[in-house]
Amino acid sequence: MSQFGKVAVLMGGASAEREVSLMSGGGVLKALLSRGVDAHAFDPAQRALCELKQQGFARCFIALHGRFGEDGTVQGALELMGIPYTGSGVMASSISMDKIMTKRIWHFEDLPTPQWCRVTSVAQTRAAYAELGGPMIVKPAHEGSTIGLTRVDSLDQCESAYLLAARHDPAVLCEQFIAGDEVTCPLLGPTNTPQALPLIRIKAPGGNYDYQNKYFNDDTQYLVPAGLPDGEEEAIAALACKAYQVLGCRGWARADVMIDAVTRQPYLLEINTSPGMTGHSLVPMSARAVGISYEDLCIRLLEHTDLDSGVAA
């Protein structure tokens, strides 16, 4: 493992997903150390990024989630310092973090995604509800882990839903709700030839896959194999690969998809370019289904830093 040199596992950070990032980073650090990698925890909220160069780190495993870690900012700083890193580059990270821009690109590329409106006021949220109909999802455009998200079932809920989302982001997304199966598709590899790992179908208590049910509730069911009708998993995997390609993602990502219960049409919701690596996280769960251990997954992602970051080791 000396080929990797001194490795920084970036975790924590200053986003609303700091708690989850610390759990992800802790798991990655333990896995890398178990394989003999010279890995060290590095929290950008507590240390200046320039210390990475000063202290001789050869590459970074990005286990940051949300802003200032998944949005291209850290990636840009690492590019300037010439330090290879895991995951997507500056542009793909920035676009993928912006749910509205992601949907615009997918729409332009004729990839199915629920109808949406960008709103900046309560009045616009009410107008969006009148246009999209109910139920409707209201969420911040630049957050993850369902932070600030509300399902709106009546016009009366629009104000509280908008105000909650706007506390996290001035740009708020109103999105058509798709009733049906919720699945996610992890992806590994370069932009042009990604590998889709097995789909996971998610069954959360009450159909509410919120922050608590994602990370702290053992009642959520994760089905691998997903148990979808013949041909659906292959079609969704192909759709996820296309979504990954048009955004320019690389290294790894996870595409979230809803399947309309009546038409069985899959709709892309968003793509995560620094997915969770906690005990409840979906990428390692999917990888295990095809014989890739958590430790092997971490090593594989680290191996791709030289190829994917665009800078020399």
Is the residue at 132 inside a domain? Answer: yes
Residues 144, 204, single domain; the answer is no
- How confident is the prediction along the chain (313 residues), in pLDDT tens digits per residue? 688 999 999 999 998 889 999 999 999 999 999 999 999 999 999 999 999 999 999 999 999 998 889 999 999 999 999 999 999 999 999 999 999 999 999 999 999 999 999 999 999 999 999 999 999 999 998 877 578 899 999 999 999 999 999 999 899 999 999 999 999 999 999 999 999 999 999 987 766 545 454 544 567 889 999 999 999 999 999 999 999 999 999 999 999 999 999 999 999 999 999 999 998 899 999 999 999 999 999 999 999 885 444 443 3
Is the residue at 308 inside a domain? Answer: no
Residues 120, 209, single domain; the answer is no
Residues 192, 52, single domain; the answer is no
Residues 78, 12, single domain; the answer is yes
Is the residue at 310 inside a domain? Answer: no
Residues 103, 220, single domain; the answer is yes
Catalytic residue among 162, 209, 215, 267: 215
Q: 197 is written with which tokens?
A: 């790992």
Largest CA distance in the chain: 60
15-117-276 Cα angle (round to 5): 30
Contacts of 108 (CB under 8 A, 6+ apart): none
pLDDT at 207: 61
Considering its fold, how many domains does the chain have in total?
Answer: 3
CB 248 within 8 A of CB 255: no
Q: Tell me if residue 272 is catalytic.
A: yes
What CATH number is associated with residue 67? 3.40.50.20
* Cα 212 from Cα 209, distance rounded (Å): 8
* Antiparallel, parallel or unpaired: β 266-272 and 251-260: antiparallel
Q: Tell me if residue 17 is catalytic.
A: yes
Q: Tell me if residue 254 is catalytic.
A: yes
Query: From the CB of residue 90, how many other CB atoms can be counted at a distance below 10 Å?
Result: 18
Is the residue at 306 inside a domain? Answer: no
Residues 50, 138, single domain; the answer is no
Catalytic residue among 270, 286, 294, 308: 270
Is the residue at 183 inside a domain? Answer: yes
Residues 153, 192, single domain; the answer is no
What CATH number is associated with residue 168? 3.30.1490.20
pLDDT at 206: 64
Q: 181 is written with which tokens?
A: 């199966």
Residues 99, 144, single domain; the answer is no
Q: 167 is written with which tokens?
A: 């506390």
Say whether 189 sits in a helix, a strand or coil: strand
Is the residue at 311 inside a domain? Answer: no
Is the residue at 307 inside a domain? Answer: no
Residues 158, 187, single domain; the answer is no
Q: For the residues of 215-251, what is the DSSP string, one character each? A: HT-TT-EEESS--PPTTHHHHHHHHHHHHHHHHT--E
| Separation of CA 284 from chain center | 13
Is the residue at 106 inside a domain? Answer: yes
E strands in the chain: 6-10, 38-42, 59-62, 116-119, 136-140, 150-152, 172-176, 180-189, 195-196, 200-203, 221-223, 251-260, 266-272
Residues 145, 233, single domain; the answer is no
Catalytic residue among 43, 98, 256, 295: 256
Catalytic residue among 15, 21, 24, 272: 272
Q: Tell me if residue 256 is catalytic.
A: yes
> Domain range for residue 82?
2-86
Domain stops at, among 35, 68, 86: 86
